Structure 1
Amino acid sequence: MSPRGRRPGGEDTRGAIVEAARAEFSRGGYDATSLRAVARRAGVDPALVHHYFAGKPALFAEVVGAPADPSALLGAILEGPREELGRSLARAFLQLWDSPEGRTRFEMVFRSTASHEESASLLREFLAKEVFGRIVAAVGDPSAPQERQRLRAGLAASQMVGLAVMRFILRLSWVAEASVDDIVDEVGPVLQGYLVR
């Protein structure tokens, strides 16, 4: 006879939460997915989801295979000097993915989003809400039209994704072999121009 009630904590519980989150994100998208719905699908108490994951961004990062919670890294960047935001963002992005494991994970995420609209939609929602949306809200020009701020954020995102594709997927030697410091020196001011006015 199988036990009744909610599943207790443990390694298999963490895995069940991740699988439930993958199903919920796929079903409803990033914005519509709640941690309560994930807990319900996994058969656990919502507090157990919070025990394993700091919040929805951290859970999503786990589902897509990010080596760290990008939302947490962004918090540290936004607390730093405003005039260094572009450079800090470029450095954090490269440090997040610029390891053998990180490159493998980026390749997996990229190939998944390139071949599955569902995956691409999830990543778009996450980047818009938890990454570039937060940057615009924190440092964007409040007098600029919202459409213009979103365009700048989207262009910054395209700069980052394009950089990652050239460095990790296409491996163009000029970019793939450049040092992190050299890339930060070149890309940081571009991101700063897009995001901080």
Structure 2
Amino acid sequence: MADVNPGPRRRGRPRKDSSSDARTAIADAASAEFAEKGYDKTSIRGIARRAQVDSALVHHYFESKAGLFAEVVKLPVRPDRIVRSALDTDDDRLGESLVRTVLSAWERSTVKSIGVTVLRSAVSDSAAGRLIRQFLLRELKGAVAGRLESSGVDPAEADVRATLVLTQMAGALIFRHVLELEPLASMPVDDLIARLAPAVQCHIDGVGDVE
């Protein structure tokens, strides 16, 4: 009896027995795309093309480019989700919400262990460092800037304020968890939040801007 040709494989959601292979293929394709093009220039469509699947399948498994990056880099948490969850508050509480959400997440041992490695890579001049910086700027700074724009802040000014917010919090994380500088390293997290939040709120409000 002659073999039956099933015809070309249809794109879209895979059968149950092929789902694991499809997910792996997408993750491998994403890793290659990020390495070759960097975070900013990598697209979901390009990843899907390399993995030979439909772009809808990429979204089905990983939701977004940020989700794929988190999978490839093996992040224990999604920093983009952490920051976005902190943005859902009133303008005058935004600084405290951001600082508390981010710093509290870093107190978890599972986050800190790999977070230190990520921060060290981010400040290095390696290919991995450049990739991580692109991710942080696009997903974290972009989220804060977008939130400020939604409150009526000019886009250029929102970008400046978001950059200052990010540098303020990144500096605190680096000195506390990477360099372990005292007294910051052993300061109770609630005390650090209380001291840092007003400074971040000043950047959010644009205090000191030249009119």
Normalising by the smaller structure, the TM-score range is 0.7 to 0.9
Are 2:87 and 2:98, in contact at CA under 8 Å, matched by a contact in 1?
no
Q: What residue is the counterpart of 1:69 in the other structure? A: 78
In structure 1, give the amino acid aligned to 2:19. G
Gaps of 5+ in 2: 1-7, 207-211
* Matched-pair contact (CA < 8 Å) for 2:75–2:114: yes
Deviates more, 1:40-49 or 1:174-183: 40-49
Greater RCO (CA < 8 Å, at least 6 residues apart): 1
RMSD: 2.6
8 A Cα contact 2:95 2:200, kept in partner: yes
Percent of aligned positions with the same letter in both sequences?
Answer: 38
Matching of residue 195 in structure 1 with residue 200 in structure 2: no
**8 Å contact kept, 2:87–2:94:** yes
Instruction: Kindly state the Cα deviation for residue 92 of structure 1 after the two structures are TM-superposed.
Output: 1.7
Q: 2:121 aligns with which of 108, 112, 127?
A: 112
Output aligned runs, 1:1-197, within 5 Å. Answer: 5=9, 8-10=18-20, 12-140=21-149, 142=152, 146=156, 148-197=157-206
- Structure 1's consecutive aligned runs of 4 or more residues displaced over 6 angstroms after TM superposition are none
Larger Rg: 2
Normalized per residue, which structure has more helix?
Answer: 1
Deviation larger for 102-111 or 64-73: 64-73
C-alpha distance after superposition, 1:142-167 (max 9, x if no partner): 56571x44333222222122111112
> What TM-score do the two structures reach when normalised by structure 1?
0.82
Alpha carbons of structure 1 residues 34 and 85: separation in structure 2 relative to 1, 3 Å: same
Residue identity opposite 1:174 in structure 2: P
| Unmatched segments (≥5 aa) in structure 1 | none
Q: 1:80 to 1:178 in 2, by over 3 A?
A: same
2:53 partner amino acid? V
Paired amino acid for 2:144: I
Q: Does the 8 Å contact 1:30/1:126 carry over to 2?
A: yes
Question: Deviation string for 1:117-142 (max 9, x for gaps)?
Answer: 32333233323322222212322575
How many angstroms apart in 2 are the aligned matches of 1:51 and 1:190? 40
